[in-house]
Structure 1
Amino acid sequence: MKKFLFILLFVTFQVSISQEKKPFSIGETLSFYSEILQEDRVLNIYLPNGYENSSKQYPVIYLLDGSTDEDFIHIAGLVQFGSFSWINMIPETIVVGIANVDRKKDFTYPSTDKGYVKKYPMTGHSENFIQFLEVEVQPYIEKSYNVTEEKTLIGQSLGGLLATEILFKKPDIFNNYIIVSPSLWYDYESLLKMTPKDYTSEKKIFIAVGEEGEIMKRIANELYLKLKKINNHHTQLYFNFLEEQDHGNVLHLAVYEAFEKMFSVKK
């Protein structure tokens, strides 16, 4: 009899659990056709807790490599954790993950390295992608969501190369830059030889690299020193070498430390 009652209760519990299932969501996914890129694109958007019932305006983080199977989920998680009132590491923030189609195409400018171009013939279209961010993505977000003027860009590897290119060529598209393990070896390190465009708006720039080989460490440090040399009172500049991390796992800890240094409110 006891065995029968146990089975009955177990079945009842299972039915009850199944009846309470509902989808879990941390935001929205937007699919649209880009006139600039001439292709369908996807944005993954994390909204802070209580966004729907709030009249607040929120800063925005734009995340390269922002597909759900890339960096969107764990970076959105860091933002949620960091914005808890008892943590106070970052203000409540909207995260816009730009899902990839072809990152080698979108994140690189034209190269003079014939061997690389032969191997990856679709490279060299970052100018279009930057225009896509500036003309299509940002205006849509600003029109559709309650946002402030504060915009941060996060990019790693080739994404870090693109973030550096934007910082050097069109710095005022974003207020803040988190550049992790940038692939500045691309095109014989030509971007490092470029003179960055001047800007007058306030900037926070965080550069990080892990234990990823001498070339990656050197070029990340050279980027920091280049920016430090031309630094002015408009810029807060940070550099971090994460010796326990490699190219595969450096982003998460780097972004965590960037949030602490760039946005944390001391209690």
Structure 2
Amino acid sequence: MKYFMLLALVISNQFYAQNKIEHFDVDSKYLQETRTVSIALPKNYEQSAKRYPLILTLDQGLLFHTTTAIANHLSSSSRMPESIVVTLSAGSKHRNYYAPNLYNNHRDRLYNYGDHQEELLNFIEYELLPLIEEQFRVAKFRMLVGFSPSSVFSLYTALVKPNLFQAYICLAAGNIIGDGYAKDERLIEALEKLYNVQQPTQQYLYIVSGSKDAEGQPYIHTNIKDFNAKLSKHHSSGMYAKAELIEGEGHTDVVLPGLISAFNFIFPKEKWIVDYLNLIEENGTAKENIVKFYNNLSKVYGFQVYPNADRLYSMSCLKNIGRRLLGTNKTSEAIELYEYWTTLYPQSHLAYYYLGMSYEKHNDLDNAIKAYNKSYALAMSQNSSEAEQYKNALKNLKQ
């Protein structure tokens, strides 16, 4: 596990550097204070025209950078969509202040939490989310991530505003689901009732705890068993719920493997991983088959899913599969594919460079020059070191 954590730190350092982090303040009438919002934008966000799912993390110091790094790593290998990750600065109140004051059925007492969840929920629904969606290209797929006390808030939101987010990730929450809003009530049955009666349009609910938590709270095993038995029967109606223990993990240790497991639950590999080498051999053009795959995936999730433009060591991206098409003299298909790339990333100098290459190989020199000129102009405007390469491509073409 120590090796796994070290590997994750390396991944975090590598992928966190790809994100542009923006900050803005919100003077909230609901919280009666100013909060700073931090937003991690996906790599090449400013070059693209795409809309991205939103991940809101409720514990800035513990969750923001870790969630950003994991989302980057999984999306870079087409295991989940690129996403915008958001968090809030800590306010003047303790983090427990905005959590519901549940009744602990095993200790026979209240949690002693603040019970001011409506204030935070109103802030998120009526102030934070509208501001984010006004300023950034956000898809209609939101995820809420909480840990321990903020998992209590996340579960509350899932119950009272089930359609506000499409996915709820509740870390270190295996004990919480066995408690309720009154003595001898459990959130498990409250969620079961919601799913039986209201049936939100689409929801993914993931609960996890580390096995070390269960050593001191053995009833967590029962909670997880009951949760899965009562809620998994709703999967056919678009309500996906899963609770699990991760062996060897403690209370905070569970964050990293829990997030990875949560994203694998929401975006399972069998749905997301596809070999473009197989797609280009099917009937139709490469672009048609790739777009068809992602359009079908989009129907499952209710937002537009896009192919990766570029990937390291993989043919399953627009850049590299286009090169394969050029290598097999399918230049018309390569042109169509790279034109599609430029529609997704209209400010990408790399996309226009490869479009120019495909036109050049197709002996359409006029369009090749136009594409190379565009790539050079974009590179210069973005102070990219690739500008010299594009300049040389133009020079060689004109000789």
Shorter-chain TM-score bucket reads: 0.7 to 0.9
1:100 maps to amino acid:
A
Q: What is the alpha-carbon distance in structure 2 between the residues aligned to residue 186 and residue 100 of structure 1?
A: 26
CA contact (8 A) 1:207 1:224 kept: no
Equivalent residue number for residue 317 of structure 2: none
Structure with greater strand share of residues: 1
Q: TM-score, normalised by structure 1?
A: 0.79
The alignment partner of 1:172 has SS state of coil
Q: What is the alpha-carbon distance in structure 1 between the residues aligned to residue 35 and residue 184 of structure 2?
A: 30
Q: Deviations over 1:60-106 (max 9, x none)?
A: 011111x2x3221111111111111xx21111100011333321011
The alignment partner of 2:237 has SS state of coil
Equivalent residue number for residue 54 of structure 1: 48
Q: Deviations over 1:178-198 (max 9, x none)?
A: 122223447656452533361
Equivalent residue number for residue 139 of structure 2: 148
Q: 1:220 to 1:62 in 2, by over 3 A?
A: farther
CA contact (8 A) 2:19 2:41 kept: no
Q: 1:189 to 1:156 in 2, by over 3 A?
A: farther
Equivalent residue number for residue 77 of structure 1: 69
Q: 1:135 to 1:225 in 2, by over 3 A?
A: farther
Structure with greater helix share of residues: 2
Q: What is the alpha-carbon distance in structure 1 between the residues aligned to residue 170 and residue 53 of structure 2?
A: 18
Higher relative contact order (CA 8 A, sep 6+): 1
Q: 1:170 to 1:82 in 2, by over 3 A?
A: same
Q: What is the alpha-carbon distance in structure 2 between the residues aligned to residue 238 and residue 107 of structure 1?
A: 22
Q: What is the alpha-carbon distance in structure 1 between the residues aligned to residue 122 and residue 241 of structure 2?
A: 26
**Given the alignment of the two structures, is residue 256 of structure 1 paired with residue 260 of structure 2, yes or no?**
yes
Larger Rg over CA atoms = 2
The alignment partner of 2:62 has SS state of coil
Q: How far 1:253 sits from its partner (Å)?
A: 0.5
Q: How far 1:152 sits from its partner (Å)?
A: 0.9
243, 268, 273: which one aligns with 1:266: 273
- Counterparts of 1:18-29 in structure 2, within 5 Å, are 26-29=20-23
- Size of the alignment, in residue pairs? 237
123, 126, 151: which one aligns with 1:132: 123
1:46 maps to amino acid:
A
CA contact (8 A) 1:58 1:94 kept: yes
Q: How far 1:200 sits from its partner (Å)?
A: 3.7
Q: What is the alpha-carbon distance in structure 1 between the residues aligned to residue 65 and residue 231 of structure 2?
A: 31
Equivalent residue number for residue 169 of structure 1: 160
Equivalent residue number for residue 245 of structure 1: 249
Segment of structure 1 superposing worse, 56-65 or 256-265: 256-265
The alignment partner of 1:171 has SS state of coil
CA contact (8 A) 1:210 1:217 kept: no
CA contact (8 A) 1:165 1:191 kept: no
Q: 1:28 to 1:221 in 2, by over 3 A?
A: farther
Q: How far 1:137 sits from its partner (Å)?
A: 1.1
